Amino acid sequence: MTEQRFFATAPKNMESLLADELRGLGLQDVAETRAGAGFSGTLEAAYRVCLWSRVANRILLRIAHFPADSPDALYQAVRAIPWEDHIGLQQRFAVDFSTSGSSITHSHFGALKVKDALVDRFREREGARPSVDTENPDLRINVYLLRDVATVSIDLSGDSLHRRGYRKEGAAAPLKENLAAAILLRAGWPALAAEGMALLDPMCGSGTLPVEAALIAGDCAPGLARTHWGFSGWKQHDGKAWNALLEEARERRVEGLKHLPAIRGYDQDPRVVRIGIANAERAGLHGLVHFEKKEIKDCLPVAADGTGLVVTNPPYGERMGAETGLPGLYASLGQVLKTRFSGWKAAVFTGNPELGKRLGLRAHHIHTLYNGRIECKLLHLSITPEWFVEDRSFPRPLPADERSEGAAMFANRLRKNLKHLSRWLKREGVHCYRLYDADLPEYALAIDIYDGERRWVHAQEYEAPRTIDKRKARLRLREALGVLLDELEIPEAQLFFKVRRPQKGREQYQAMAASGRYQQVVEGNNRFLVNLKDYLDTGLFLDQRITRELIASLAGGQHFLNLFAYTGTATVFAASGGALSTTTVDMSNNYLDWARRNMELNGYTWAGHRFIRTDCLSWLQANTEHRRYGLIFLDPPSFSSSKRMEGTFDVQRDHVDLIRKTLGLLEPGGTLIFSNNLRSFKLERERLSDWEIQDISRQTLPPDFKRNPKIHRCWRISYKQG
Alpha carbons 123 and 113: distance in angstroms, whole number: 15
Q: Dihedral of the CA atoms 304, 310, 316, 318 (nearest 10)?
A: -140
User: Rounded to whole angstroms, what are the CA distances from 499 to 63, 81, 705, 721?
Assistant: 63, 68, 20, 47
Which residues have CB under 8 Å from 467's CB, separation 6+? none
DSSP letters, 327-386, are: HHHHHHHHHHHHHH-TT-EEEEEES-HHHHGGGSB--SEEEEEEETTEEEEEEEEE-SGG
Classify domain 538-719 by CATH architecture: 3-Layer(aba) Sandwich (3.40)
Closest CA to 144 of 316, 7, 304: 7
H/E stretch holding 610 reads strand 609-613
Report the share of the chain in percent with pLDDT over 90: 78
Q: What is the mean pLDDT of residues 123-134?
A: 93
**In 96-207, where does DSSP find H-type helix?**
107-126, 177-186, 189-194
Which residues have CB under 8 Å from 431's CB, separation 6+? 425, 450, 451, 452, 521, 522, 523
Closest CA to 569 of 528, 530, 518, 609: 528
What residue type is assigned to position 252 of the chain? R
> What's the residue count for the chain?
722
Closest CA to 8 of 30, 370, 225: 30
Strand order in the sheet with 4-9: 28-33, 36-41, 4-9, 58-67, 149-155, 139-146, 92-100, 131-132
H/E stretch holding 36 reads strand 36-41
pLDDT of amino acid 318:
45
Q: For the segment 502-540, what is each residue's pLDDT rounded down to a tens digit?
A: 544 434 444 444 445 789 999 999 999 999 887 778 999
Bigger pLDDT: 632 or 621?
632
Alpha carbons 303 and 336: distance in angstroms, whole number: 15
Q: For the segment 673-707, what is each residue's pLDDT rounded down to a tens digit?
A: 999 999 899 999 999 999 999 999 999 999 999 98
pLDDT of amino acid 503:
46
Q: Are 183 and 349 in contact (CB under 8 A)?
A: yes
pLDDT of amino acid 394:
64
**In 563-697, where does DSSP find H-type helix?**
569-576, 589-601, 616-622, 651-663
Alpha carbons 184 and 171: distance in angstroms, whole number: 20
Could you confirm whether domain 4-155 is CATH 3.30.2130.30? yes
The SS3 call for residue 507 is helix
Closest CA to 171 of 271, 264, 263: 271
Alpha carbons 365 and 326: distance in angstroms, whole number: 23
Bigger pLDDT: 646 or 674?
674
Q: CATH number of the domain at 177-223+252-387, please? A: 3.40.50.150
C-alpha atoms less than 13 angstroms from C-alpha of 31 in its C-beta half-sphere: 9
Which residues have CB under 8 Å from 6's CB, separation 6+? 38, 39, 40, 41, 46, 49, 59, 60, 61, 62, 156
C-alpha atoms less than 13 angstroms from C-alpha of 531 in its C-beta half-sphere: 22
Alpha carbons 415 and 411: distance in angstroms, whole number: 6
* pLDDT reading at 97 higher than 80: yes
Give the start-to-end residue ranges of the domains of the chain. Answer: 4-155, 177-223+252-387, 400-502, 538-719
Q: Are 148 and 182 in contact (CB under 8 A)?
A: no
CA 70 to chain CA centroid, Å, is 48
Alpha carbons 361 and 383: distance in angstroms, whole number: 8
H/E stretch holding 8 reads strand 4-9
**In 25-154, where does DSSP find H-type helix?**
43-52, 71-79, 107-126
Q: What is the mean pLDDT of residues 65-81?
A: 97
Alpha carbons 457 and 454: distance in angstroms, whole number: 10
The SS3 call for residue 684 is coil
Q: How large is the greatest C-alpha to C-alpha distance in the chain, in angstroms?
A: 103
Q: Are 673 and 632 in contact (CB under 8 A)?
A: yes
- 693 forms beta bridges with 717
Alpha carbons 675 and 345: distance in angstroms, whole number: 51
Q: What is the mean pLDDT of residues 362-382?
A: 94
CA 612 to chain CA centroid, Å, is 25
Q: What angle do CA 676, 679, 683 make, to 5 degrees?
A: 60
Alpha carbons 534 and 530: distance in angstroms, whole number: 10
- 538-719 matches 177-223+252-387 in CATH topology: yes
* pLDDT reading at 645 higher than 80: no
- 82 forms beta bridges with none
Mean of per-residue pLDDT scores for the chain: 91
Alpha carbons 465 and 714: distance in angstroms, whole number: 30
Which residues have CB under 8 Å from 690's CB, separation 6+? 720
Q: For the segment 652-680, what is each residue's pLDDT rounded down to a tens digit?
A: 999 999 999 999 999 999 999 999 999 89
Q: What is the mean pLDDT of residues 261-283?
A: 94
Alpha carbons 662 and 717: distance in angstroms, whole number: 11
Q: For the segment 462-492, what is each residue's pLDDT rounded down to a tens digit?
A: 877 777 788 888 899 999 999 999 999 999 8
Backbone angles phi, psi at 171, to 5 degrees: -80, -165
The SS3 call for residue 643 is coil
User: Rounded to whole angstroms, what are the CA distances from 257 to 114, 193, 215, 221?
Assistant: 46, 12, 9, 12
C-alpha atoms less than 13 angstroms from C-alpha of 79 in its C-beta half-sphere: 17
* pLDDT reading at 493 higher than 60: yes
Q: Are 488 and 568 in contact (CB under 8 A)?
A: no
Closest CA to 476 of 532, 427, 438: 438
Q: For the segment 408-455, what is each residue's pLDDT rounded down to a tens digit?
A: 999 999 999 999 999 999 999 999 999 999 999 999 999 999 998 889
Fold of 400-502: Transcription Regulator spoIIAA (3.30.750)
The SS3 call for residue 100 is strand
Alpha carbons 499 and 460: distance in angstroms, whole number: 5
Q: Are 572 and 541 in contact (CB under 8 A)?
A: no
Report the share of the chain in percent with pLDDT over 70: 93
The SS3 call for residue 151 is strand
- 290 forms beta bridges with 264
Closest CA to 443 of 414, 421, 415, 416: 414
pLDDT of amino acid 623:
74
pLDDT of amino acid 305:
66
Bigger pLDDT: 223 or 135?
223
The SS3 call for residue 602 is coil
